[in-house]
Each structure stands twice: as C-alpha cells, then as structure tokens.
Amino acid sequence: MKKIIMLLIMMIICDCVVIAKGLLNKKYFGLELGYTRPGDSIQRQYDNSIINYGVGINYPILKNLDGLLNITSSLSEGYISRQKIKSSTNAAIGSLIYSFAPNAEINPFTTVSIGIASVSNENKDTQYKLSDNKLYYSLQFGSEFNINPSVSFRPKMAYNKLQDNSSKITSHFDMIVFFNKKLFKILGLGYNMDNKDLFINISMGIII
C-alpha cells in the first residue's frame, strides 16, 4: 500500500514539473494586451498612448517550421485642431517561422509575415470617416534562449512595412515564463528605431 501511495505521489509531482522549453515548435493559443507610447512629439499631442490587443495561434507544420496566425487591433483617440479624431487598425497576419535548432537551449529563428490591415480614421464631431485596406509584411530574425524549462528569452529584430507608409525597423525582447506544462505568460518590450515608439505588452496563453 505504501508503495502505491508513493507511486501516486511521484506521478503527481512529475505531472506538475514544468517540461516546456520555449514556444517554438509548439501548438499554442494566446491573448495579448499592449501599450504603445509614440515617439513622435506631434503624435503625442494627439494621443500619448495607443492600446493594442489581439489573439494568436501557433501550429507546428514541420519539425523546423511553424505557422502562426495573429488577429490584432489598435486604438487611439485625441484632438486635432479641437476636433476629436478616433483612429483604429485591425489586422490579420499570417507568419511562417523557421527554427534552426528546435528544442535546443539556443534556437535561432527567422520569420516571414504577410497580412492585410484595415486602417480607419474618424472625425467624431463631423462623423466623417476614412477607411482603407493596406498590405502588411515583415521579416524578422531572432533567437530563443531557453534558460531552463520555466524561463525563455526571445530577442529579435524586425523589418516592417505597411503599404503607402514608410518602413520601420523595430527591436523586441520577450521573456516567456511557464507556470506548468500548459500555461505561460509573455512579458515584452519593443522599440521602433525610426520614430522612437516604445511598446510594452503582456500575453497569456495555453499550450494545446
């Protein structure tokens, strides 16, 4: 009887041990909430904070290749010449992520993304609204550093381009923390090297 009890205890302990090692090459679903502080002083006079939120799902296609789908939105609101302007961007973005060393302690990767973004600006005083759909694409390079089964770091650089807008070079740093075999959170910082925007985001997710 004691042996059976000890076996059950060991099974429970083993089941609670975090065995995750990074998020690359794993099937997961996540929710994200973020904040952007514009680097442009004129933009900050209009609105000094932009709220971002979204959902994403990652699915391993091959041993070294993941498919990622993100649905995101961003909102800002402020006054220009005493008129209230509301701006929003809704985007659907698909990505392919190639890992060079799956499940290794250091796993370099590259990401190619393409999507469509619906950009809208509305004058709340006159009710005049202007909307446009634009093509978005991005190329990223980074590496996932799996410090231990509970913590991973993911620095990366990205080239981003939105149709009819200037391209942007951004740097990102994510810390991924695993609570158990399924649940995780991501704390992220980002910086736009062109217009000096600062990004802060937090994500919660589950490994499926």
28 and 176 Cβ atoms separated by less than 8 Å: no
> What are the tens digits of pLDDT across the range 146-186?
998 899 999 999 999 988 887 889 999 999 999 888 899 99
CA pair distance 37, 50, nearest whole angstrom:
7
Judging by DSSP bridges, how do beta strands 28-37 and 198-207 pair with one another?
antiparallel
Cα separation values, 122 from 73, 128, 152, 202, Å: 16, 6, 41, 28
| CA pair distance 201, 31, nearest whole angstrom | 10
| 8 A C-beta contact, residue 131 and residue 160 | no
Helix and strand numbers (H, E) in the chain are 2, 10
Q: What is the mean pLDDT of residues 116-122?
A: 90
What was the pLDDT predicted at 127? 72
Residue 145 in this model has a pLDDT that exceeds 50: yes
pLDDT tens per residue across span 76-101: 887 776 778 788 899 999 999 999 99
d(CA 189, CA 90): 21
pLDDT greater than 70 at residue 40:
yes
d(CA 101, CA 46): 45
Q: Report, as an integer, the average pLDDT of 50-76.
A: 94
Tell me what the mean pLDDT of segment 58-76 comes to: 95
The SS3 of residue 47 is coil
**Mean pLDDT of all residues belonging to the chain:** 85
Which 3 state secondary structure label does DSSP give 19?
A: coil
Mean pLDDT of 55-71: 96
Q: What's CA 138's distance to the chain center, in Å?
A: 13
Question: Is the per-residue pLDDT at 57 higher than 90?
Answer: yes
| pLDDT > 50? residue 200 | yes
pLDDT number for residue 121: 84
Q: What is the pTM of this model?
A: 0.82
